[in-house]
Structure 1
């Protein structure tokens, strides 16, 4: 038997059934509370018949909470996971029951992301894959019916065929020598940019081949000055938390040691702030389509150009799959022709 209580401008539903623990949840409307209570009661009956957890007994917010806790145990959430979580909660609604998910609802979500938010099909795919991962977590950890996971796979294929989600295009952008020179000159002499040491960050990104999140997370305690190495904590990995010791290549150790010790971090800046500022600098210099992450691409490509073997580059870049390094090996055709002529 379900009861409903008005609490301010929200409604609390309470379901009590003999032989089962009481369940309660608060919603923004009474209609939502009633729908949830009805689904919970139906789910209890399904369980009694051996049917497992009802999709109507869990909201999208509950599922995402479960998934984020799962990710926190096995990996680093990272900005992408947090962004995907926020986007799904806002776009699909935290109070949406899992039983209300459908292809049309996901298609509307994807269309809005593309047409209103102006994001690419690959970004939308990232959101959908976060939802798909959450559903997998739910089937494993909350005994959700496996049919939801099967339906999600079908919905993903439909969204792909409709062009609403897609894989990212391989990016091979590298700064030209002039662009890199302009960036370093501007960041060295512009006093307004001295709060964040962009000149050092740009040079360090190219020399170390690190991601921006990794750079902004480096701690002094993880630097081995004698060995010329540093430990990157929770380095990007799809399935687990992992720390990695990497060599400080080129001028990266000198740049690192030149930083003032004002914080436990070597570069005590927010990655998002650095990224936004870098875009503004590029606009000011009229440098088009250059991302801070492209500096990592530049650094990795330079290592190959200097003759390092793929296993050596992988030790610096952190790639577990050597095959994935192919997208970073973007040797300029002109450079290869010159090398051949000089032999």
Structure 2
């Protein structure tokens, strides 16, 4: 259905079609308005001919998930973890529903169930992946869905950022536990994480060719943000890397898989917890948090810390920054003393 009205010295054309958002446009010339109406109606008619609602009865959510994990997931950096997540999706009852019967309520129930099992952050990532799968299907695979069933599913509120700092006695306990380990790479990995603020994946991807120890620099070609960076190294970090160069023969300085490193970390933490139970809730990523906080405590400013840590958004950087109040007090006293002098 089309309509044409004269309004404020212009012609306002409007085209309505069932299942589509009304389209409106204003013209100075009536002929142009009529031409636009005809073209818009033809475009919507072609879309209606291409739309085959019966295909929604023949296709299940599982079909979309399997195609996505086959065609899209392999090109992603985190393809392994995403493939496992989709494998879990396929076990749910809603994965067997056809696209004609899938509703936002199915994912609302999934959200509520998962919130009783895992943290809100995990649920947010799951909903985000599912929404992306449906969006790719709509935009790239010509699946005739009028709307994304995840579009209006409310995301749970994410928990506040962690503010876990590493205490000196906890580090001592961790390093002592490393001495009882059968490998010789976990201790330098832990110490280097604290000195550089590098993510676990970045540590595991370090190669000899990336080092410029004469100039205290380390290149990181592959990062979480897909933006390579070169970070300045402290004297301690250079010393650790030199020892790793001397003892290893592999091109990679930490020649282990992510899972092997994770398991070694958990075993090390378990041994340390026998002497210090509070260390049980420490995560390896908390060492990055500790490193960034230490950079600020050394007096580095936000751009300088971001150059080392790789954060692109200062708001995210501040989530990792929890300065010790007593250190700020000491700094204020020093400033006041200099002002008084």
TM-score normalised to the size of structure 2?
0.73
What is the CA-CA distance between 1:47 and the residue it aligns to? 7.6
Between the aligned partners of 2:215 and 2:95, the Cα distance in structure 1 is 49
Q: Specify the structure having the higher radius of gyration (Cα).
A: 2
Aligned to 2:72: 70
What is the CA-CA distance between 1:295 and the residue it aligns to? 0.2
Tell me whether 1:230 sits opposite 2:218 in the alignment.
yes
Say whether the 8 Å CA contact 1:132–1:152 is kept in structure 2. yes
Say whether the 8 Å CA contact 2:60–2:95 is kept in structure 1. yes
Structure 1 segment 209-228 matched on structure 2, within 5 A: 209-228=197-216
Between the aligned partners of 1:60 and 1:247, the Cα distance in structure 2 is 48
TM-score normalised to the size of structure 1?
0.72
Aligned to 2:188: 200
Say whether the 8 Å CA contact 2:175–2:187 is kept in structure 1. yes
What is the CA-CA distance between 1:107 and the residue it aligns to? 3.4
What is the CA-CA distance between 1:320 and the residue it aligns to? 1.2
Tell me whether 1:97 sits opposite 2:98 in the alignment.
yes
What is the CA-CA distance between 1:129 and the residue it aligns to? 0.8
Cα offsets for 1:86-141 (capped at 9, x unmatched) = 332333576553334323432343344344xx311221121111111112222221
Between the aligned partners of 1:62 and 1:244, the Cα distance in structure 2 is 39
Tell me whether 1:81 sits opposite 2:94 in the alignment.
no
Aligned to 2:150: 152
Deviates more, 1:264-273 or 1:244-253: 244-253
Between the aligned partners of 1:249 and 1:65, the Cα distance in structure 2 is 47
Between the aligned partners of 2:307 and 2:58, the Cα distance in structure 1 is 47
Tell me whether 1:143 sits opposite 2:142 in the alignment.
yes
Classify the secondary structure of the residue corresponding to 1:152: coil
What is the CA-CA distance between 1:250 and the residue it aligns to? 4.2
Aligned to 1:178: 169
Aligned to 2:329: 337
Between the aligned partners of 2:157 and 2:80, the Cα distance in structure 1 is 20
Cα offsets for 1:39-95 (capped at 9, x unmatched) = xxxxxxx9882326743454434433554443544x412555344323323335765
Between the aligned partners of 1:281 and 1:129, the Cα distance in structure 2 is 34
What is the CA-CA distance between 1:323 and the residue it aligns to? 2.3
Structure 1 segment 277-296 matched on structure 2, within 5 A: 277-284=264-271, 285=273, 286=277, 287-296=279-288
Tell me whether 1:261 sits opposite 2:248 in the alignment.
yes
Gaps of 5+ in 1: 1-45
Say whether the 8 Å CA contact 2:127–2:150 is kept in structure 1. no
Aligned to 1:126: 125
Tell me whether 1:316 sits opposite 2:308 in the alignment.
yes
Classify the secondary structure of the residue corresponding to 1:266: coil
Say whether the 8 Å CA contact 1:217–1:267 is kept in structure 2. yes
Say whether the 8 Å CA contact 1:84–1:126 is kept in structure 2. no
Say whether the 8 Å CA contact 1:63–1:138 is kept in structure 2. yes
Between the aligned partners of 2:290 and 2:200, the Cα distance in structure 1 is 14
Residues 140 and 245 of structure 1: CA distance in aligned 2, closer, same or farther (over 3 Å): farther
Residues 78 and 329 of structure 1: CA distance in aligned 2, closer, same or farther (over 3 Å): farther
Classify the secondary structure of the residue corresponding to 1:263: coil
Say whether the 8 Å CA contact 1:61–1:95 is kept in structure 2. yes
Between the aligned partners of 1:63 and 1:335, the Cα distance in structure 2 is 54
Between the aligned partners of 2:197 and 2:206, the Cα distance in structure 1 is 13
Residues 200 and 235 of structure 1: CA distance in aligned 2, closer, same or farther (over 3 Å): same
